[in-house]
Amino acid sequence: MFSAFLIKYGEIGIKGRNRHIFEDALMDSIRFSLSKVPGDFDVTKEQGRIYVKYSSDFDYDSSVAALKKVFGITSFCPVVISEDKSWDVITKASGDYIEEVYPDRNFSFKAFARRADKKYPKHSMEIAAEIGEYLLKRFPELSVDVHHPDVSFNIEIRECAYIYSIEIPGPGGMPIGTNGTATLLLSGGIDSPVAGYMIARRGVNINAVYFDAPPYTSERARQKVLDLAKIISAWCGPIELHIINFTDIQLAIFEHCPHDELTIIMRRYMMRIAEKIAWDEHRMGLITGESIGQVASQTMQSLRATNAVCHIPVYRPLIGFDKNDIIEIAEKIGTFETSILPYEDCCTIFVDRHPVTKPNVHGIEKSEHHLKGIIEDLVEEALRTQKVVVCE
């Protein structure tokens, strides 16, 4: 029955003279997201509204699922379009709409009308009143409530007549690509995919870096990260995943540095490498899944020690979240099930029994001094041998 979706976008509507940039980015995101769903469609911008119009049969449920993942959409409405705007046709179409969409009609409603086509013989107040009257007559079990209706019934007269009443919430946020670019440090855990999702939701285009440590980590651990990147790409768009072989760096740290500082030093090298990758693509920041105090390497002191090597901003959207809050989002975006698969990642395999929880930057720098003359080549080599996989 539905042949289109009306896309509502709140926040980007207020962006002044940049508005078209945001709207175009939103339309691109919608096109990308729906391209994986069967059906021929057009995304159009008409009189300050964005429509997805289908010219063929389409899979309603998967289209809705896809639109729910397009950042920038605050909500969207499945719409019935009637090209014939004559009064008899649109009143009947309105009645048929109610009949089909609401098998159980024991509810109150209010009719809203808009008349963009100013040549139309009835003005909007008349349209609303007369449609309401028609519906009441055809379905006596309905009632009208103009203050708190159960259903808001909308009819808009434009170049065609648009009828809709269902409003499906979108993910909100801003369209991908409207707010710069950043590099996500993606592990196989619960937090980092959520962090990537949250920053991408603000319109940031993200790529990602994964630190692989064969034979200490397995091919399945790497596959898990590829799977996670694929899951979040449904929200963030295609993700370029840079895979860094981190084994030799880790072994060098293990051999030359105090073991209670391993994790901190390791994370500092991860940051350095991630920053290099971000830098090469002119990306404006790093994203991590850190949250204060979650583990030894995420105390305020540890975060400071890790942060000290970075020159570009590090965005930590989960910084004030409890684990349960993070899990809730992970479940919502569909990464949780994959994140909890039990494969070793490179953070867990070299972890000391009693890692430092209050490192000081100076001390860590001193320990890193032992790596001088060895580590530079290893970092260089790790960057040189990186593999890039596009996950979508």
Partner 1 sequence: MEIYLDNAATTRPYEEVIDFQDRIMRECYGNPSSLHGKGFEAEKYIRYAQKTFADILKVEEKELLFTSGGTESNNMAIIGCAEAASRRGNHIVTTALEHPSVYNPVRFLENHGFTSDTVSSDEKGRLDLEALAAALTPDTVLVSIMGVNNEIGTVQPLADAVRIIREKCPEAVIHVDGIQTFAKIPVQPKKLGIDAFSVSGHKFHAPKGTGLLWVRDGIRMNPLLFGGGQQRDMRPGTQNVPGIAAMAKAAEIENADLPEKIQKMYALREYFIGEALKIEGVRLNGGLRAGDFTLSEDPEECAAPHVVSLGFEDIKSEVLLHALSDRGIYVSGGSACSSNHPNVSRTLKAISVPNEYIKSTLRFSFSYDTTQEELKTCIEALNEMLPVLRRYTEGGRKKRR
The angle subtended at Cα 115 by Cα 68 and Cα 76, nearest 5°, is 5
Region of 218 (left: φ > 0; alpha: ψ -120 to 50; beta: rest) is beta
Which residue, among 208, 384, 348, has the nearest Cα to 281 in the 3D structure? 208
Residue whose CB is less far from partner 1, 1 or 349? 349
CB atoms within 10 A of CB 194: 28
Residue whose CB is less far from partner 1, 331 or 352? 352
Residue whose CB is less far from partner 1, 33 or 217? 217
Residue whose CB is less far from partner 1, 43 or 251? 251
Shortest separation between residue 171's beta carbon and partner 1, angstroms: 32
The sign one gets for the Cα dihedral 288, 290, 295, 296 is positive
Residue whose CB is less far from partner 1, 246 or 321? 246
Residue 292 near residue 298, CB atoms below 8 Å: yes
Shortest separation between residue 224's beta carbon and partner 1, angstroms: 12
Residue whose CB is less far from partner 1, 16 or 215? 215
Tell me the one-letter amino acid at 378.
L
Shortest separation between residue 213's beta carbon and partner 1, angstroms: 10
Shortest separation between residue 267's beta carbon and partner 1, angstroms: 18
Where does this chain bind partner 1 (CB under 8 A)? 214-219, 251, 254-255, 259, 341-342, 344, 349-350, 352-353
Residue whose CB is less far from partner 1, 219 or 328? 219
* Residue ranges in 139-256 assigned as alpha helix (H): 191-200, 219-236, 247-256
Shortest separation between residue 248's beta carbon and partner 1, angstroms: 11
Residue whose CB is less far from partner 1, 185 or 213? 213
CB atoms within 10 A of CB 56: 9
Shortest separation between residue 210's beta carbon and partner 1, angstroms: 16
Residue whose CB is less far from partner 1, 246 or 315? 246
**Which DSSP helix (H) or strand (E) runs through 201?**
none
Per-residue b/e over 286-319, b at no fewer than 16 CB within 10 Å? Answer: bbbbbbeebebbbbebbbebbbebbeeebbbbbe
Shortest separation between residue 218's beta carbon and partner 1, angstroms: 5
Shortest separation between residue 254's beta carbon and partner 1, angstroms: 5
CA Rg value for the chain: 27
Dump the DSSP string for 2-56: --EEEEE-SGGGG-GGGHHHHHHHHHHHHHHHHTTSSS-EEEEEETTEEEEEESS
Residue whose CB is less far from partner 1, 28 or 352? 352
310 token code pair: 């970075």
Shortest separation between residue 343's beta carbon and partner 1, angstroms: 9
**Which DSSP helix (H) or strand (E) runs through 152?**
strand 151-157
Shortest separation between residue 302's beta carbon and partner 1, angstroms: 21
Tell me the one-letter amino acid at 369.
H
First to last CA, the chain: 31
The SS3 assignment for 208 reads: strand
Cα distance between residue 135 and residue 144, in whole Å: 10
